[in-house]
Amino acid sequence: MSRIAHVNGAYVPQSRASVSIDDRGYQFADGVYEVAPVQAGRIIDLKPHLDRLAQSLRGIQIDMPMPLSAITVICRETLARNRVLDGTVYMQISRGVAARDHGFPKTPIKPALVVTAKSMVWPTDAGADTGIAIITTPDTRWGRCDIKATGLLANVLAKQKARDAGAFEAWFVRPDGSISEGASTNAWIVDRDGRLITRPLGPEILPGITRATVLNLAGAAGLDVVERSFTVEELLDAREAFLTSTTAMVRAVIAVDGRPIANRYPGEITRQLRGLCIAHYGSAGEA
Ligand SMILES: Cc1ncc(COP(=O)(O)O)c(C=O)c1O
């Protein structure tokens, strides 16, 4: 079955889906995107994902092309046409098509919307995660990492650097020695006193939906959580480390730049949170 994409109001086979070379998303990465998980046909945490989409659009001064309810209908239709029950739905909105000029077009243009869907198998067993290796790399990104912008070149290069090193992810290190986040994940440690630590929201990190979910789940489970930045030294000294994202959920980090975290096994709290996250995906409504 060929995959179907929604492109500016039409559903087209993905192999033939196209946008103009004058689309500002193509020319300038002048756009934003969202990725939401889908399990058993339900879009998990739909509202926070759509809220973040609206916030990203506001951040780069693109008007919402249609009500969020209409985007939801398009997401559902794209999932249905691709027969995706378990996977992800991807939304991208660019400023639209105009002759190439850095400044916004003088006459208003219509933002361009693309929606695609992809199948994937979600984990069911928290204990099956054997952990992953990461590298650290200087944070060379722009100053508004809280916007989920399509301009991801620094993230792309960091992810490739990780892959070249045989690692799963790269965590960005800021000039002050603190870790901001991963190329496509939020970063966490559990310190020697069992405190869960993650960077507070701000322009240096994406407000991850999974980060928010894990904060809620950890709070409800009575875990001690501190939102503060942490350094590479604290990471290397941590009892546990893990990352969060929509597709990874919670994954244990067991090595950093070739050095082990604790005993190279996923920690107890990481496994607990991964289990809670798996259960959340299995039970969360679309609200
Ligand atoms: C830079 C960055 N940080 C964090 C995340 C995790 O965000 P979420 O949990 O919403 O997937 C992502 C996801 O793509 C990301 O690109």
Instruction: Say which residues have a Cβ less than 8 Å from residue 133's Cβ, sequence separation at least 6.
Output: 165, 166, 167, 168, 253, 254, 255, 256, 258
Q: Is the CB of 198 under 6 A from ligand 1?
A: no
d(CA 253, CA 264): 8
Centroid of ligand 1 to alpha carbon of 242 (angstroms): 14
Quote the pLDDT of residue 162.
Answer: 98
38-42, 109-113, 125-129, 165-169: segment of lowest average pLDDT: 125-129
Which residues are marked as active site?
148
Confidence (pTM): 0.97
Centroid of ligand 1 to alpha carbon of 35 (angstroms): 9
From residue 121, alpha-carbon distances to 36, 87, 94, 118 in Å are 14, 7, 29, 10
Query: What is the tens place of the pLDDT at every residue in 70-86?
Result: 999 999 999 999 999 99
Q: Is the CB of 204 under 6 A from ligand 1?
A: no
* Arch. (CATH architecture) of 4-119: 2-Layer Sandwich (3.30)
Q: Which atom number of ligand 1 is nearest to the Cα of residue 211?
A: 9
Q: Encode burial over 256-271: b for 16+ CB neighbours within 10 A, e otherwise.
A: beeeebbeeebbebbb
The secondary structure of residue 133, as a DSSP letter, is: E
Q: Could you tell me where the beta strands, DSSP code E, fall in 18-153?
A: 31-39, 42-43, 87-94, 112-119, 132-138
User: In this structure, is the dihedral angle defined by the CA atoms of residues 103, 107, 108 and 111, taken in order, positive or negative?
Assistant: negative
Cβ atoms < 10 Å from Cβ of 175: 7
Three-state SS letters, 190-256:
ECCCCCEEECCCCCCCCCCHHHHHHHHHHHHCCCCEEECCCEHHHHHCCCEEEEEECCCEEEEEEEE
The residue to mutate among 43, 206, 243, having the most atoms of ligand 1 within 8 angstroms of its beta carbon, is 206
Question: Residue 156: helix, strand or coil by DSSP?
Answer: helix
Centroid of ligand 1 to alpha carbon of 105 (angstroms): 30
d(CA 65, CA 282): 31
d(CA 98, CA 108): 10
The secondary structure of residue 101, as a DSSP letter, is: -
Quote the pLDDT of residue 286.
Answer: 62
Q: Is the CB of 246 under 6 A from ligand 1?
A: yes
Centroid of ligand 1 to alpha carbon of 47 (angstroms): 16
Nearest CA to ligand 1 atom 1: 184
Of the candidates 55, 37, 33, the one whose C-alpha atom is nearest the C-alpha of residue 46 is: 37
Give residue 285's pLDDT band: very low, low, confident or very high (50, 70, 90). low
Query: What is the tens place of the pLDDT at every residue in 159-213?
Result: 999 999 999 999 999 999 999 999 999 999 999 999 999 999 999 999 999 999 9
Domain locations in the chain as residue ranges: 4-119, 126-283
Mean of all residue pLDDT scores within the chain: 97
Cβ atoms < 10 Å from Cβ of 286: 14
DSSP-H helix ranges across the chain: 24-28, 46-59, 68-81, 153-164, 209-220, 232-236, 268-283
Domain covering 126-283, topology: D-amino Acid Aminotransferase; Chain A, domain 2 (3.20.10)
Query: What is the tens place of the pLDDT at every residue in 228-245?
Result: 999 999 999 999 999 999
Q: What is the rounded average pLDDT of the residues 22-41?
A: 98
Instruction: Say which residues have a Cβ less than 8 Å from residue 24's Cβ, sequence separation at least 6.
Output: 30, 31, 94, 95, 96, 97, 98
Q: Is the CB of 150 under 6 A from ligand 1?
A: no
